[in-house]
Amino acid sequence: MDPVRVGVVGCGVIGPTHMAAAQESSLIDLVAVADLIEERATSAAEKFGAAKVYTDGTDLIADPDVELVVLAFPAETRTALGLLALNSGKHLLTEKPVAMNRGEVRQLMAAQGDLYAATCCCRFRFMESAQAATEFIATGALGELRNVYCRELRAAGPMPTGEPVEWRLKKQRNGGGILMNWGCYDLDYLLGLCGWSLKPLTVFGQTWTCPPQFESHIAEGADAETYYTALIRCEDGTIINVERGEYMATAAEAAWQIIGTRGSLQLHMLPGQDKQIVFNDTSTETGVESRVIWEGDDGKATTAPVTNMAEAIRQGSSPATPLEHALVVQQISDAIYASAEGGTSVTLE
């Protein structure tokens, strides 16, 4: 099987992760990298064995040797290059969030045609624990799902000594704050574990910006949220309940559960050592009895999306989060913002 010829645009924070995965995979040939900072692109090419270096992503897309384009930079200008890639006949893998808003996702879908296109918000579903949970839920052991829940709060630390990431909490650069940065992971993880069987219908949400005492922790001019919460009602009555915050005036807290009529799962999205998935089983006679159904060390999951994409292209299978699923995640995110602004629930299209 011929390797998929990959070009990566963006050699900053996450781009080298895709390059490392390409370097390790026999199914991928990293042929080109691009970055606005020439020295950074050259350094990445030397480190990961790319033969070609560009300072303009459009030049990389025009390269006939590039078969799959990976976009690894903030969302502000990503859709334009994504459309160029698809219209140039290239497969597309875009970092998360998939786009600035649902309208941009639809533009990508309209340009996709027979090409493969996907996003990286599936990153944590490649871990062994996530696969074990997905398979267990698919057996129906939980019964009818009632509440799919996550709460992930990170307490503020001491004042940082280095410069904060400039784009992370700016609406114009990345479409939003923690909801766009991490909420897409939360939603993809929960929806994916449930086999994308849940059909979100109505959203009620709220967002908050950074508390005043921690504004020194974030980039100057940051205007996006650092805390969001939402209730998402699905067509069958299942509730997706998501909450995540950073720079919080609270102790750190993490709780993830998938609750059904016959039992529930307690689990966690992030990788770690000695992780467990606990199944809370039920019976009339004994009530609730808990047992561990999986335990282990997940290791890292950041390298998987590009490998999964290459497999999809060569095997004719679906990538983990195709644009159709990415649109669902983005529609929910857009609805949370709209609900927070309007103070009322929002019905999804």
Q: Measuring CA to CA, which residue among 85, 119, 113, 100 is closest to residue 6? A: 85
Assign residue 25 the CATH number of its domain: 3.40.50.720
Does 114 share its domain with 143?
Answer: no
The two three-digit tokens of residue 57, written as one number: 């992503």
Share of the chain above pLDDT 70, in %: 99
Does 136 share its domain with 285?
Answer: yes
Assign residue 231 the CATH number of its domain: 3.30.360.10
**CB within 8 A of 227, min separation 6: which ones?**
178, 207, 208, 209, 244, 245, 246, 248
Give the integer Cα–Cα distance in Å for 332 and 15.
Answer: 27
- CA 186, 187, 188, 189 dihedral sign is positive
Does 178 share its domain with 288?
Answer: yes
Give the integer Cα–Cα distance in Å for 249 and 211.
Answer: 8
- Model confidence pLDDT, tens digit, residues 215-263: 999 988 899 999 999 999 999 999 999 999 999 999 999 999 999 999 9
Q: What are the residues facing 295 on neighbouring strands? A: 276
- Model confidence pLDDT, tens digit, residues 54-101: 999 999 999 999 999 999 999 999 999 999 999 999 999 999 999 999
Q: Which residue has the tokens 């398979």?
A: 135
Does 231 share its domain with 116?
Answer: no
Q: Measuring CA to CA, which residue among 98, 348, 17, 344 is closest to residue 199? A: 348
Q: What is the DSSP string of 206-250?
A: EEE---GGGGGGS-TT--S-SEEEEEEEETTS-EEEEEEEEEESS
Q: Which residue has the higher pLDDT, 219 or 148?
A: 148
Does 214 share its domain with 261?
Answer: yes
Does 111 share its domain with 138?
Answer: no
- Model confidence pLDDT, tens digit, residues 154-177: 999 998 888 888 788 989 899 999
Does 170 share its domain with 196?
Answer: yes
Does 281 share its domain with 246?
Answer: yes
Does 206 share its domain with 289?
Answer: yes
Residue type, 41: A
Does 93 share its domain with 210?
Answer: no
Give the integer Cα–Cα distance in Å for 57 and 71.
Answer: 9
**φ/ψ of residue 259, rounded to 5:** -110, 130
State how beta strands 263-267 and 275-283 pair: antiparallel
pTM metric for this prediction: 0.96
**φ/ψ of residue 12, rounded to 5:** -90, -115
Does 108 share its domain with 151?
Answer: no
The two three-digit tokens of residue 232, written as one number: 């998402």
pLDDT score, position 301:
67
Residue type, 140: G
Range of the domain at 79: 4-123+303-321
Q: What are the residues facing 137 on neighbouring strands? A: none
Give the integer Cα–Cα distance in Å for 186 and 177.
Answer: 14
Based on the structure, what is the number of domains in the chain?
2
Does 288 share its domain with 307?
Answer: no
